[in-house]
Amino acid sequence: MTKVTIISGFLGAGKTTFIKKLIEEIYKGQKVVLIENEFGEIGIDGGFLKDAGVQINEMNSGCICCSLVGDFGKALKQVSHDYAPDMIIIEPSGVGKLSDVIAAVENVKEEADLELENFITVADATKCKLYMKNFGEFYNNQIESATTVVLSRTQNVDEAKLETAVNLIKEHNDKASIITTPWDELTGEQIISALKHTSLVDDMLKDMDICPECGHHHEDDEECCHHDHEHHHHDHDEECCHHDHEHHDHDHDEECCHHDHEHHHHDHDGECCHHDHGHHHADDVFNSWGTETPHKYDREEIEAILKRLVETEEFGVILRAKGMVPDKNGSWIYFDAVPGEYELRDGQPEYTGKLCVIGTNVEPEKMEELFLLK
């Protein structure tokens, strides 16, 4: 089965440059076919990409989403049959609607043995507000239909304008990953992370051996069991004497104490959190807040935030906080915090800044204020 990635973007946003980066850093060694659909232009980007070993299939007489739906489907089937590529990259016309291109692929995907993988929109950070105002229907459709929005020319705007662009995009699509880091600072792995859109919350739950889907911990090769177990483990020989544990019957032969379904680690002086833990789904015990942001911090700001998180309970009982954010000095700050302690370190640029807090009674509005986002 051939995978399909659609890369849309308004005229001049930088689609071809981004495609070249994808091919060089992500799809290198794979057999890739690029289907271009230039709006009335004659293959202006073909030579640029042929050097990367990409087979170009150009269509130069209109827009996929309008006059070329039939030809487009035929071209897809022909490419899949003749070349059997690992990946087809579709670069629609800059004035095309992404939703129509997706629909056109959907119509032929079974016949052509295709799997839709990514819907990417490249947007110029310097022009988001202008284009939304002047070309709303077409421009906004590209934003709304994307699974990942890649902002170009972010190095040319100040932080306030970049945050405005991100907020405008989120108003139209709050599910998509938004890449805000300048492209020359991005690695292929970071782009893949954005395309997969694995949230920091999910990553942290996995780090804590908790299944993001069902809220339980599973042994190796154990499938999600969809029933309510919760075990409270203490990592440093403390007794769990401050709260009651209920034990439910288990339908699968193991004893209650010999398998791990949800872990609440207590790293502060061996005491529990002074609130009752029953055997509940994870969502009943703690909640989380996470966001992606281009906001820049300095180390003093992050340190002050973490002290308030881990040394007080004004924001609820914090189980863990983690993040990677751009530093005002041009580097990146990575941090990790658990009750009673935290650490800061330098790190590599991410596709955008990420923040996450997991605990009990975590209130999103308070988190936004704490992290200086309001």
Which CATH number characterizes residue 361's domain?
3.30.1220.10
pTM of the model: 0.63
Residue 45 has pLDDT above 60, yes or no: no
Both 146 and 205 in one domain: the answer is no
Both 211 and 356 in one domain: the answer is yes
Both 8 and 113 in one domain: the answer is yes
* Pairwise CA distance, residues 292 & 324, whole Å: 10
Both 49 and 39 in one domain: the answer is yes
Report the SS3 class of residue 353: strand
- Name which residue leads in pLDDT, 166 or 206: 166
| Cβ neighbours of residue 47 closer than 8 Å, sequence gap 6 or more | none
Residue 122 has pLDDT above 90, yes or no: yes
Domain final residue pick, 197, 212, 231: 197
Both 216 and 188 in one domain: the answer is no
Model confidence band, residue 3 (pLDDT cutoffs 50, 70, 90) = very high
The answer as to whether 238 is a domain residue is: no
Task: Single out the residue of 180, 185, 189 nearest to residue 158, CA to CA.
Answer: 180
Task: Single out the residue of 221, 222, 229, 225 nearest to residue 213, CA to CA.
Answer: 225
| Cβ neighbours of residue 23 closer than 8 Å, sequence gap 6 or more | 32, 49, 52, 53, 54, 89
Q: What pLDDT shows up at residue 345?
A: 93
- Residue 147 CB neighbour total at 10 angstroms: 20
Residue 186 has pLDDT above 80, yes or no: yes
Q: What is the dihedral of CA 120, 168, 137, 108, to 10 degrees?
A: 20
Q: Domain range spanning residue 320?
A: 198-220+258-374
Both 178 and 281 in one domain: the answer is no
Both 184 and 202 in one domain: the answer is no
Both 167 and 95 in one domain: the answer is yes
Model confidence band, residue 214 (pLDDT cutoffs 50, 70, 90) = low
Q: What pLDDT shows up at residue 280?
A: 46
Q: What's the domain count of the chain?
A: 2
The answer as to whether 233 is a domain residue is: no
Q: What is the mean pLDDT of residues 312-332?
A: 89
Q: For the ranges 108-112, 258-262, 271-275, 353-357, which has the lowest average pLDDT?
A: 258-262
Model confidence band, residue 261 (pLDDT cutoffs 50, 70, 90) = very low
Residue 251 has pLDDT above 50, yes or no: no
Around 54, how many Cα atoms within 13 Å sit in the side-chain half-sphere? Answer: 29
Both 175 and 292 in one domain: the answer is no
Q: What is the mean pLDDT of residues 292-317?
A: 92
pLDDT tens readout for residues 82-106? 888 898 888 887 767 889 889 888 8
Both 266 and 128 in one domain: the answer is no
Annotate 292-331 with DSSP letters as a single string. EE---B-HHHHHHHHHHHHH--BTBEEEEEEEEEEBTTSS
Q: What is the mean pLDDT of residues 105-128?
A: 91
Q: What pLDDT shows up at residue 59?
A: 43
Residue 15 has pLDDT above 50, yes or no: yes
Both 177 and 208 in one domain: the answer is no
Q: What is the mean pLDDT of residues 202-223?
A: 57
* Pairwise CA distance, residues 111 & 102, whole Å: 15
CATH number at residue 185: 3.40.50.300
Model confidence band, residue 153 (pLDDT cutoffs 50, 70, 90) = very high
Both 206 and 328 in one domain: the answer is yes
Is 286 within 8 Å of 256 (Cβ atoms)?
no
